[in-house]
Amino acid sequence: MAATGTEVFGHTVGRYEETDTPKGLLLPQKLGSILWAPMTVMGIMLVFVAFGLGIARSQLSVDLSEEFSASTKANLATLGQLVPGFMFLGFAMIFAGISFAIARTLGAFRAGGGLVQEAIGKGIKAPDMPITAWIFLMGMMMAMMLLIFTFVGHIYAATQAYDAWINATSSSIAGNEAALGRAETWGTWLEGLRRFAVGLYLTSIAFGLATIIKVIRFQSLRIKELAQTA
């Protein structure tokens, strides 16, 4: 029958459960083992897509400086919204890859620590998820949803920017001022939301690293405890 405690080798480590058999991986740790690589690769690909769109936008800017064209201006304004959208969606995937790698690392500690303790035969102590891990998971999911929302918002702003300039008669007069206003308003709000989401993501990753430190401390104390009892 499982027992619980909060101290290992005379140190307070938070709540843990002691059992006779190793406990399996938690769902985030299982997902981390599978998704860390695909998410990272997708993120890198999206960053390169944004880089390519940026090059195309710079060429359109050169063309527009030589001769005004409504379609060129419309495409330039459209790419002005799509480039940051794809770039920050790529960042979201890369940050997700980092987050899943942290979860995978925690899973490796959990599984490896359980196997070592099982081999010694003195009972297996596995820590419960600390508050830092919950903050890490919640923050990561919120940041991911915000960055996906900003990507969708940039798609909408891009369509509005295209509609605003496709019938323009000069580079300073849009054919649809209402659509131009919506595009500029969305672009302004989305910029702030992107920065907030990235900050939230990085903060969540910091809590994930703090969780790794907690697990390493727990297992170090457990090794000392096993060595003493042996």
* Token pair listed for 139: 């923050």
Q: How many domains does the chain have?
A: 1
Tens digits of residue pLDDT in 17-33? 888 888 889 999 999 99
Report yes or no on 47 lying in a domain. yes
Q: Is 212 exposed, middle or buried (0-12, 13-18, 19+ CB in 10 A)?
A: middle
Report yes or no on 92 lying in a domain. yes
Report yes or no on 1 lying in a domain. no
Report yes or no on 121 lying in a domain. yes
Domain interval for residue 90:
21-229
Report yes or no on 215 lying in a domain. yes
How would residue 10 be classed by pLDDT, with cut points 50, 70 and 90?
A: confident
How far is C-alpha 90 from the geometric centre of its chain's CA atoms? Answer: 9
Tens digits of residue pLDDT in 42-89? 999 999 999 999 999 999 999 999 999 999 999 999 999 999 999 999
Tens digits of residue pLDDT in 152-187? 999 999 999 999 999 998 988 999 999 999 999 999
Average confidence score pLDDT of the chain: 94
